[in-house]
């Protein structure tokens, strides 16, 4: 009887481990994969009408897809304002920013008109009201119809090179994102080198080799 109980616990533990590996693996597979096809309507300040954004048009430049749960909320406007305050530096790095939520493009426009923080935004605000993009990036909470707080750096070939998903109550820092962009761009331009922890633009890098193993 006791052995049978132990075996059952082992089986349950194995199922939990396998599920964890499968679920985590699904998301990790997005790294170094091409973004899936999409087309969406977006709001962009200064344009005479709403615009259309698709997965082919974004290629040729670095892009950041910045998913957030909803318009007219609490943490989200602080993040989007922070991006807006640092947008010039992103542009100097050749990076386009696309904020994405499942709200409609009309809602984006209304929020931009109503909020002093959101009014600063000049980057593109995509409406993912069909859930297509959130599903493509595996950040959709299907029961709620909202996106997780996910950030993706996409290279000019449309390949996802970095990703981060945080819990709903934790806002992101644009300065940290700028540093990740710089590191990601550096290793693309300098094959054979990698950026160590706390690497800053112009800092020392590493060149992985057999001789380096165990020396750090």
167 is catalytic: no
Whole-number Å distance between alpha carbons of 163 and 83: 16
Going by C-alpha positions, the residue among 100, 170, 96, 168 that lies closest to residue 129 is 100
Name the active-site residue from 76, 107, 167, 195.
76
Whether residue 181 contacts residue 64, with contact meaning beta carbons closer than 8 Å, is answered with yes
Give the angle 19-23-25 at the CA atoms, nearest 5°: 115
C-alpha torsion 165→168→172→177, nearest 10:
20
What pairs with residue 146 in β-bridges? 141
Query: Both tokens of residue 88?
Result: 């010039």
Burial 77-103, CB ≥16 within 10 A → b, else e: bebbbbbbebbeebeeeebbbbbbbbb
Are residues 103 and 192 in contact, defined by beta-carbon separation less than 8 angstroms? no
Q: Which residues are catalytic?
A: 76
């Amino acid at each position: 009887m006791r052995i049978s109980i132990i075996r059952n616990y082992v089986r349950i533990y194995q199922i939990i481990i396998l599920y964890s590996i499968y679920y985590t693996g699904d998301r990790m597979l997005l790294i170094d994969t091409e973004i899936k096809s999409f087309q969406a309507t977006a709001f962009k300040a200064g344009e005479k009408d709403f615009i259309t954004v698709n997965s082919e048009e974004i290629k040729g430049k670095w892009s950041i897809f910045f998913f957030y749960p909803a318009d007219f909320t609490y943490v989200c406007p602080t993040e989007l304002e922070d991006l807006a305050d640092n947008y010039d530096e992103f542009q100097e790095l050749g990076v386009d920013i696309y904020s994405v939520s499942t709200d409609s493009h009309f809602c984006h426009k209304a929020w931009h008109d109503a909020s002093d923080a959101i009014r600063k935004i000049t980057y593109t605000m995509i409406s993912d009201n069909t859930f297509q993009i959130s599903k493509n990036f595996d950040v959709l909470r299907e029961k709620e119809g909202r996106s997780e707080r996910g950030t993706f750096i996409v290279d000019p070939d449309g390949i996802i090179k970095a990703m981060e998903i945080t819990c709903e109550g934790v806002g992101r820092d644009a300065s940290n994102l700028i540093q990740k962009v710089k590191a990601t761009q550096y290793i693309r331009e300098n094959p054979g080198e990698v950026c160590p922890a706390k690497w800053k633009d112009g800092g020392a890098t590493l060149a992985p080799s057999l001789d380096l193993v165990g020396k750090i």
